[in-house]
Each structure stands twice: as C-alpha cells, then as structure tokens.
Amino acid sequence: MNRWLLWLPLGLFGLFFVAVAAGLMIPKDNVIESKMVGKPMPAFSLPAAIEQRPALSSTDLVDGKPKLLNIFASWCLPCIAEAPQLLELEKAGVEIHAIASRDRPEDIANFLNRWGNPYSRIGSDATSSVQLELGSSGVPETFVIDGKGIIVHQHIGDIRKENVPELLAILREAQ
C-alpha cells in the first residue's frame, strides 16, 4: 500500500476540523432576502393599528408616487434605533406607511408618542400574514415601492444614518 495513503485519514480529519472551526468562528449571515423584490405588491388589507391613523391596504401603496413601507413593532428595540432616521425621511417629504407586527394598539400609541410618528397610515398585522406575503422575516424591515406598486428594494434591519441618503436615492430612481 502506498505509504502516503496512511496520512489520508489524518488529512481528512484536518479538513473536517478546519471546516468545523471556520463554522464556529465566522459569524453566520442570517439575512433572508425577500424574493418579492421586483414583483408587484401582493394584495392585502389590514385594519387600523391606532385610532389616530387610517388603516392600510395594498391599494394605498399604488398612487403614482414612490413610498416607503416600514414594518415595525413596539416590542422591537432596533425599531427605536431607526425612529430618528424615519422622521428625517418624513421631513424630506417621503410618504411612509407602516405595518405594526403582532402589536397592541395601546403599546403602538405609547411607542409612537415616545419615539415619534412618521407614518401616514398604519395597518395592524396581528398574525404576520402580510409579512409572510411580503417575504419579510422580521422587524424592522423597510420596503421601497414605486409609483406602480412594484417593490423595488428591501432594507433589512434598522435604518442607520448612512442608509438615509441611499434610500432617498432609491426613492428618486423609483419616480
């Protein structure tokens, strides 16, 4: 028998070891992107989440102007982090609609009183049904929808300072 072949099991074990060590040390990329980007908004209709804002249905998202659809929840900490950026976008003239994920009206009202309310309409998605329609897997997420109701972009996670100009550029392009 070829004596080099004797080293094969050790070599295989080495490969196995490296693969496992790499899997442990390299942080996992758990982001699941929606396959709905580039497709039309699925039809939905959600009841109003709070008294102060009207309900949201998919037809509200198709009126010739590009807009943002933000998915948030009062129980979601990164949603607090992105609140100032959403207010900034609203100040820049962007229309922002929202879906409140698995949330109570009083909790949503408290959250918005505390961190600001940049939303024109807020729909309440108590069983994540619209989130599943959108291919969204968590909060916060923000979709850019063009005037014809096509989803042109999905931002996963909180909107940071540096994402604001990016989103504004995408909105301009979607005009």
Binding site for other proteins (CB under 8 A): 30, 32-36, 73, 75, 101-104, 107, 126-129, 131-135, 137-138
Q: Are 55 and 123 in contact (CB under 8 A)?
A: yes
Q: Would you say 73 or 171 has its CB closer to other proteins?
A: 73
Q: Would you say 120 or 128 has its CB closer to other proteins?
A: 128
Q: Are 59 and 132 in contact (CB under 8 A)?
A: no
Residue 129 CB, nearest approach to other proteins (Å): 7
Q: Are 154 and 171 in contact (CB under 8 A)?
A: no
Q: Would you say 28 or 91 has its CB closer to other proteins?
A: 28
Residue 136 CB, nearest approach to other proteins (Å): 9
Rama region for 50: left / alpha / beta (φ>0; ψ in -120 to 50; rest)? beta
The CA distance from 122 to 99, in Å, is 6
Q: Would you say 7 or 75 has its CB closer to other proteins?
A: 75
Residue 81 CB, nearest approach to other proteins (Å): 16
The CA distance from 101 to 3, in Å, is 63
Residue 165 CB, nearest approach to other proteins (Å): 29
Residue 139 CB, nearest approach to other proteins (Å): 10
**Which tokens in the block code for residue 75?**
């129980």
Q: Would you say 33 or 173 has its CB closer to other proteins?
A: 33
Instruction: Provide the H-helix boundaries in the chain.
Output: 8-25, 77-91, 105-115, 129-134, 163-173
